[in-house]
Amino acid sequence: MMQSTVAVKSVAKILEDAKVYQLFLHDILRHSGSGLVVLCAASLGKQRVVHLAENDRIGLVSFTKDNKTNLHCPALELLDTTAGSSPLLWSERSLELASRVLMAVMRSHTPS
């Protein structure tokens, strides 16, 4: 009986975490565009977003909204376009690859 209670609580926590993460990414998408969804998903990841305090998540959405012009990167938009689906639907592997591409692009654009 106790094991099934623990399992139910674990599943409930996993579902709640997924809901928090998806809502966060949807907010970023709505206010800042798909390129910044890629940036947030690849650079922060689900665990970091879920463990942020709610006020910090709200602040991050506001920050990206207020600074989307400065944060815009054509490479992020290209990643979104070439992936063929919304970054909200990308697998962890796709996000990992996007993160690597993003880091390579950033290194190539850093002044020496």
Q: What is the pLDDT along the chain (112 residues), one digit of tens a residue?
A: 556 665 666 777 888 888 899 899 999 989 988 888 888 888 888 889 999 999 999 999 999 999 888 888 777 777 655 555 565 555 566 666 666 665 665 566 555 5
pLDDT of residue 18: 85
Q: Residue 40 carries which side chain, given as an amino acid letter?
A: C
pLDDT of residue 51: 94
Domains identified in the chain, total number:
1
- Rounded Cα distance between 23 and 90, Å, is 15
Instruction: Show the tokens assigned to 69.
Output: 């012009």
- Rounded Cα distance between 64 and 41, Å, is 13
Range of the domain at 70: 2-108
- Rounded Cα distance between 112 and 107, Å, is 10
- Rounded Cα distance between 19 and 72, Å, is 26
Q: Which residue has the tokens 């409930």?
A: 12
pLDDT of residue 75: 74
pLDDT of residue 97: 64
- Rounded Cα distance between 89 and 68, Å, is 22
pTM to 2 decimals?
A: 0.68
Q: Are 95 and 61 in contact (CB under 8 A)?
A: no
